[in-house]
Amino acid sequence: MIGIRQKLMLGFGGLLVVIAAIGVLTMAQIDDLGRAIDVILKENYRSVVACQDMKESIERMDSGVLFTLAGNEAEGNRLIEAYSPRFRAALDVELNNITLPSEQKRAERIKALFEEYLKSIPGVTQTSLPSQALHTNYFSTLLPLFLEIKKEAQEIMLMNQNNMSEANNAARRLAAAAHRRMLMAIMFSAFLALLFSYLAQRWILKPINRLTESTKEIRRGNLDLVLEAGSRDEIGMLSESFNEMTSALRQLRKEDMANLMRTRMATQEVFKALPSAVAVLDLEGRVEVSTEAADRYFGLRPGVIAEDLGYEWLSPLIQKALDENRIIESDTKSNYVQQFINNREYFFQPMAVPITVGDKGMEPTGVALILKDVTLVREQQELKSGVLSTVSHQLKTPLTSLRMSIHLLLEEKVGALNEKQIELLVAAREDSERLVGILDNILDLNRIESGRSYVSPESVSPQALVRDAIEPFLAEARDKSVKIANAVPDDLPDVMADIEKIRHVFANLLSNAIRFTSPGGSVTIGAYSESNHLVFFVEDTGSGIPAQYINRLFEPFYRVPGQDEKSGVGLGLAIVKEIIQSHGGEVSAESEIGKGSAFRFTLPLKE
């Protein structure tokens, strides 16, 4: 089996061999061209230069002989003496640079002719001889030697020049041959590259493309795809592994579908058995599964788009849960959903729960809509409100008569009282006043919860609001040696508040703070701006409240364990919460044992 690695090595190895062959061939051709050029520039050129020097030197010497015949012996002898050594030097160069056939013979002949030429010079330059004899010796002996030397030098020079021309032509032919061989090698390497590219595409790229297309098909859900291995190399093995993987995925999908269908059927059956109205919606608001109660009361059956049902409260609730990715619950009684079914009035409290996926659960995939049936709670609240209102009003009439009787007795309008009688009547008066306060709180809370207590907000200065709230408690705080501090800045913006109801809030918080602060302690009232509302706070240095009770402070009729029985029945903070929420604000508390407590509430700023 030839694997991909061997195929790649085969292809790249062939290209490497071709490249190496081209490199070796190129270097060999360059060496041949270098040698040819060396012959041209080194060997033959030296002989040409030597022959030129010899011709020039013999001409100068001949000129010296002519100067002597002309009577200028000094100049003539100088030329002969100066150029005779130069001729010998050039002749030695030529004798030592013989490169062509017959070149040695001609060089030796030049040497012999030059020696004979030198011996014949005195016969022309001796002034003792007659002038006619000198001329005769020159033309009969010296001149023929001079011409013969020049002729031989010229022949040697022509021989070397011809050889240089032939060497140049040979170099050109060698270059042309090298060009042809290089072109053939390049064409051969290009052919090998194209062949390897074709084979690589056939061996590697096409199988990989098939795998890529197969992965796309699997991503689209086509797990029935089967690849043909085609070969036994790595691609073939990968294709077989790929087929095994898709087979395993098909089996897993089959099992998952069975589990999903089983779970879905079980979920539907469980949903049908649930008494509450519950529906699961996808991101487009389409009901996927719902209970019989959701279908019967709201028409939320599978396949229905919730927005088409016409409930104004439904779409904002679902969208808010998806946008904020948290449970959104309608916790106020005014947001209860009212439904008339079979001539009976029902009330439901809606809740939207986002359904998320992912490692961190941050990607919503749908929402669960839970409609809690609060009809019985609503009826019980109305019944409680009616009973409390009736009982409170029925109790106030005899309680008023009782208070008047105690007042008349204490004023001794009907007779004198002894000290013990006065003590008993004072205790009865305090208990009756406490009972009146409890009844007033019950009536106030009942009116607020039933919506009969309306809020009439108006613009008011925070400084004035706190100043008026503190004034009724200055004497009580002074008697208990508790300091009250107004820490509200003068530059705060006005708030929108129902002055009488907010005074009731401050009165409740201040009375509690003074009651639970030991002598020498302090109570501070302050405010600060935050976003689009103002935050008021009442802080004391009292004993503090245990952390486990903080979250229940604002529940009706809840009293922190260990309090004095005269501290109330636990309605004050519940009324405070209802008043602040009716203003659109929030109230909270924090405390630390031994350091005191702090109550905060918010009011909207004036627009």
Greater pLDDT, 401 or 553: 553
Structural domain includes residue 324: yes
Could you tell me the CATH number of the domain that includes residue 460? 3.30.565.10
Structural domain includes residue 235: no
**What is the reported pLDDT for 603?**
93
From CA 191, how far away is CA 579, in angstroms rounded? 93
From CA 384, how far away is CA 377, in angstroms rounded? 10
Do 185 and 66 fall within a single domain? Answer: yes
Q: Which residues pair with 459 in a beta bridge?
A: 496
Do 343 and 462 fall within a single domain? Answer: no
Percent of the chain with pLDDT over 90: 13
Do 472 and 599 fall within a single domain? Answer: yes
- Whole-number CA gyration radius for the chain: 62
- Kindly tell me if the per-residue pLDDT of 448 is higher than 90: no
Distances from the Cα of 340 to the Cαs of 297, 310, 347, 429, 595, in angstroms? 9, 15, 9, 50, 54
**What is the reported pLDDT for 276?**
74
SS3 content of the chain, % helix, strand, coil (to 5): 65, 15, 20
Least confident of 31-45, 324-338, 350-364: 31-45
Total residues found in the chain within this entry: 607
Do 37 and 135 fall within a single domain? Answer: yes
**What is the reported pLDDT for 269?**
65
The confidence band for 444, taking pLDDT boundaries of 50, 70 and 90, is low
Give the structural domain span for 417: 380-449
Structural domain includes residue 32: yes
Pick from 175, 170, 174, 168: which is nearest to 45 by CA? Answer: 168
**What is the reported pLDDT for 543?**
86
- Count of domains forming the chain: 4
Structural domain includes residue 254: no
Do 542 and 572 fall within a single domain? Answer: yes
Do 421 and 459 fall within a single domain? Answer: no
Least confident of 25-39, 72-86, 98-112, 470-484: 25-39
The confidence band for 235, taking pLDDT boundaries of 50, 70 and 90, is low
**What is the reported pLDDT for 598?**
93
**What is the reported pLDDT for 297?**
79
Residue 54's region, left for phi above 0, alpha for psi from -120 to 50, else beta, is alpha
Greater pLDDT, 235 or 67: 67
- Kindly tell me if the per-residue pLDDT of 255 is higher than 80: no
**What is the reported pLDDT for 535?**
94
Do 501 and 596 fall within a single domain? Answer: yes
Do 174 and 304 fall within a single domain? Answer: no
**What is the reported pLDDT for 86?**
92
From CA 352, how far away is CA 151, in angstroms rounded? 123
Pick from 436, 441, 522, 430: which is nearest to 485 by CA? Answer: 522
Locate 174 and state its tokens. 């060698």
Structural domain includes residue 224: no
Could you tell me the CATH number of the domain that includes residue 279? 3.30.450.20
Q: What single DSSP character describes residue 140?
A: I
**What is the reported pLDDT for 35?**
60
Greater pLDDT, 473 or 332: 473
Q: Which of 119-128, 200-209, 441-450 has the highest mean pLDDT?
A: 119-128
Greater pLDDT, 117 or 273: 117
Residue 519 · residue 569 · CB < 8 Å: no
β-strands 522-530, 483-487: how paired? parallel
- Kindly tell me if the per-residue pLDDT of 361 is higher than 70: no
Least confident of 29-33, 214-218, 408-412, 466-470: 29-33
Locate 390 and state its tokens. 């009736």
Do 159 and 96 fall within a single domain? Answer: yes
Of 145, 167, 192, the one marking the end of a domain is 192
Do 400 and 352 fall within a single domain? Answer: no
Structural domain includes residue 63: yes
Give pLDDT tens digits for 146-200: 899 888 888 888 888 888 777 777 777 777 777 787 778 778 777 877 777 776 6
- Kindly tell me if the per-residue pLDDT of 127 is higher than 70: yes
Do 563 and 504 fall within a single domain? Answer: yes
**What is the reported pLDDT for 32?**
64
Give pLDDT tens digits for 282-299: 888 888 888 877 787 788
The confidence band for 600, taking pLDDT boundaries of 50, 70 and 90, is very high
Residue 329 · residue 367 · CB < 8 Å: no
Q: Which residues contact 244 (CB under 8 A, 6 or more apart)?
A: none
Residue where the block lists tokens 């050109």: 172
Of 392, 421, 449, the one marking the end of a domain is 449
Structural domain includes residue 329: yes
What mean pLDDT, rounded, does the chain reach?
A: 78
The confidence band for 251, taking pLDDT boundaries of 50, 70 and 90, is confident
Locate 25 and state its tokens. 């061939």
Give pLDDT tens digits for 462-518: 999 999 999 989 988 999 999 999 999 988 999 999 888 898 899 889 988 998 898
Greater pLDDT, 239 or 187: 187
**What is the reported pLDDT for 286?**
87
Could you tell me the CATH number of the domain that includes residue 59? 1.20.120.1730
Structural domain includes residue 219: no
Could you tell me the CATH number of the domain that includes residue 391? 1.10.287
Do 150 and 17 fall within a single domain? Answer: yes
- Kindly tell me if the per-residue pLDDT of 407 is higher than 80: no
